[in-house]
Amino acid sequence: MSVKPTVVVTRKLPQVVEDAIAQRYDAKFNRMDVALTAEQMTDVLKHTDIVLCTVTDALRANVFTGTMHTKLLANFGAGVNHIDRVAARAAGLKISNTPDVLTDDTADIALALILMTMRRLGEGERHLRSGAWSGWRPTHMMGHSPRGKTLGVIGYGRIGRALARQAASALGMHILYYAPRDVRISDPATAGPGSAERVATVEQLLERADVVSLHCPSTPDTHHLINAERLAMMGPNAFLINTARGDIVDEYALTAALRDRTIAGAGLDVFEWEPTVVAELRELENAVLLPHMGSGTIETRTAMGLRALANMDAFAAGQRPPDLVEF
């Protein structure tokens, strides 16, 4: 590497983060703030020491062609399913991410989606804005109270546990959770509520939960984890929440389940083919749809950028990045 390593930042970041990067590196920023094409990304990888990438960068095997000059992909975000890690490793690249700092804000969005779906808040706002509201009446637009209901959390990492704590304390919900491996908790403050109950299978959780919230990573094993068969297990009064990754849910199967009232409703912050969303799904009143806002606060997006920068700094100094992703 040169004395001042070259860096490409693929999307616009909070100004304080861009300023810090510009001070320390020979940096180029994507001022258009549009995702790079595969050809553009390949060119970047051939001429840049470090690439600060995001979930919108489809770093599939085809971009790692020829000799790669890049040695670190500093990902802005916790999830790295948009990166072909096998191809990246074969090309000699390391990957870092930004875990932990987005936990609370993402859990907040999941909690908001629970309330929005169960209480029909999105539908109510659209009803008012359209001019259709004729005034209060006792049976108008009644929803469901979350209090005393069961929340099933699939994936019990930091975000899943944070949601469990919030739902139990603020909404009085009973917590079930499914985790394929024992949960590793380094800090007791990040544990779930003591009353949370672990179940052995996804199916047991789906059959018992009034609300199912997804917090597992996107992997080959979780692709379409929620499909038509499993949606049918939830029942007509159940709600699905997804703030994890879009491809965990079969979006066409979910659309059919919502249309046919196989389940009561869904709240989604992520989608299978982002930014494209199934057209029929966009029209359904029992679906609350957000544009991937989970970590979208000034505080958290800044913290994510500074954490990515810390990984870059360590790597440039010849040290192990603190958030190195193990393959």
Q: Tell me which of 158, 230, 245, 307 is the catalytic residue.
A: 245
Enumerate the β-bridge partners of residue 241. 213, 267
Q: Rounded to an integer, what distance in angstroms lies between the CA atom of residue 75 and that of residue 287?
A: 30
- Token reading at 206: 């789906």
Catalytic residue among 18, 207, 274, 280: 274
Please indicate whether residue 197 is annotated as part of the active site. Answer: no
Residue 27's contacts (CB-CB under 8 Å, 6 or more residues apart) are 6, 7, 8, 9, 18, 21
* 8 A C-beta contact, residue 189 and residue 165: no
Which one from 69, 127, 223, 292 is the annotated catalytic residue? 292
| CA–CA gap between residue 193 and residue 237 (Å, rounded) | 25
Is 245 an active-site residue?
Answer: yes
Query: Alpha-carbon distance 165 to 196, whole Å?
Result: 9
Cβ contact 217:79 at 8 Å? yes
Q: How many CB atoms lie within 10 A of CB 137?
A: 7
Which residues are identified as catalytic?
A: 245, 274, 292
